[in-house]
Amino acid sequence: MCISSIAVFASGNGSNAAQLMRYFSAHERIGVRLVVTNNKNAGVTEVAKTFEVPVEVFTNEAIAEGTPLLDVLSDYKINTIVLAGFLRKIPAALIDAFPSRIINIHPSLLPKFGGKGMYGDFVHQAVLEAKENKTGITIHTIDERYDEGNQLAQFEVALSQDDTLDTLRSKVQALEHKHFAETIDHYITTLESYT
Ligand code: GRF
């Protein structure tokens, strides 16, 4: 029986969304039941088709307002939201309705290189410019502020002087694909054991 139904929110390619759908398609209790996007042309919509997961597209205004999103999430009986490259701010109504149940992945070791405007290559470029000797990913629940909330896990990778934007991006993406689904699985399973 599926106890936890996940909606993946994504605006881009959806490589993490794909990995989540692949991982949870074989899971007994947890499933990805919906993809939410603000961009009908985003790669993630094709990914969802491959995995036969329905997609709901919302305008930026509807997302900011919150109620249309809440209605659809309720229709699909969603109880967990996973943000995988979703570039819109999550409205307070959603944060209130899903306490501790909205999980984000950020491509740096927060609190370093987080905050408004820090996403994708902006993060990686800043890491390179700061000549960091390591970077990584942070998986966390969200609250009203960007990139804050409870950290669930961090994973690191070493950097050298030879790293470029491309190699750094690949290293971070490899960490994301390896650890995101498993961390969510572990977190939801722990939450379920208390209910
Ligand atoms: C990932 O790097 C993730 O850390 C960030 O957005 C990116 C999404 O990439 N939040 P993809 O669309 O899953 O390939």
Whether 1 has a pLDDT exceeding 60, the answer reads: no
The distance of Cα 188 from the centroid of its chain, to the nearest Å, equals 14
By the 8 A CB rule, do 39 and 13 touch? no
**Cα–Cα distance, 37 to 44 (Å, whole number):** 8
Quick check: bond before 111 cis, omega within 30? yes
Protein residue closest via CA to atom 6 of ligand 1: 85
Whether 154 has a pLDDT exceeding 80, the answer reads: yes
Task: Quickly list H helices, the chain.
Answer: 15-25, 43-50, 60-65, 67-75, 92-97, 121-129, 165-193
- Distance between Cα 16 and ligand 1 center (Å): 6
Protein residue closest via CA to atom 8 of ligand 1: 85
What ranges make up the beta strands (E) of 84-144? 102-106, 134-141
Question: Ligand 1 atom closest to Cα of 44?
Answer: 12
Whether 174 has a pLDDT exceeding 90, the answer reads: yes
Pairing of strands 102-106, 134-141: antiparallel
**Cα–Cα distance, 189 to 3 (Å, whole number):** 10
Average pLDDT rounded to a whole number, residues 139-155: 86
Average pLDDT rounded to a whole number, residues 86-115: 94
Whether 152 has a pLDDT exceeding 90, the answer reads: yes
Our answer on whether the CB atom of 114 is closer than 6 Å to any ligand 1 atom is no
Measured CA distances, 33 to 17, 19, 43, 101, 156 (Å): 12, 14, 18, 15, 30
**Cα–Cα distance, 171 to 159 (Å, whole number):** 9
Task: Please give the radius of gyration of the chain, using alpha carbons only, rounded to the nearest integer.
Answer: 16
Residue 37 is predicted with a pLDDT of: 98
Q: Supply the pTM of this predicted model.
A: 0.95
Q: Is 85 helix (H, G, I), strand (E, B) or coil?
A: coil
- Pocket-testing residue among 104, 155, 176, 177, ligand 1, by greatest number of atoms within 8 A of Cβ: 176
- Distance between Cα 194 and ligand 1 center (Å): 30
